[in-house]
Amino acid sequence: MRYSIYLILLFCFSCTIFQTIKVPEDKIGKLSDSNTKLKIALVGFYPVTVSYRYEGRYFISTASLDYDHPMKDAFPIGQPVEQIPTSSIDSTIPAARCYLFVSNYLELVKKTGITELNKVVDFDITSDKEELDKTKCLVKKRDVDYYIVGINGPSFRNNRTGIRLLFNLLLSVSTAFTFPIFEKCEAYSIFMIYDSKLNLIKTVKYDKDMTAIASWWSILLTFGENYNTNYKDSLKQSQENMIREFQVDFLETNK
What is the predicted pLDDT for the residue at 39?
Answer: 96
Cα separations (Å) of 222 from 18, 154, 189? 9, 24, 25
pLDDT digits (tens, 9 = 90+) for 53-92: 777 777 677 889 999 999 999 999 999 999 999 989 999 9
Distance CA 86, CA 119 (A): 10
Q: Where are the domains of the chain?
A: 15-253
Its pTM stands at 0.85
State percent of the chain over pLDDT 70.
77
pLDDT digits (tens, 9 = 90+) for 15-61: 788 889 999 999 988 888 777 889 999 999 999 987 767 777 776 77
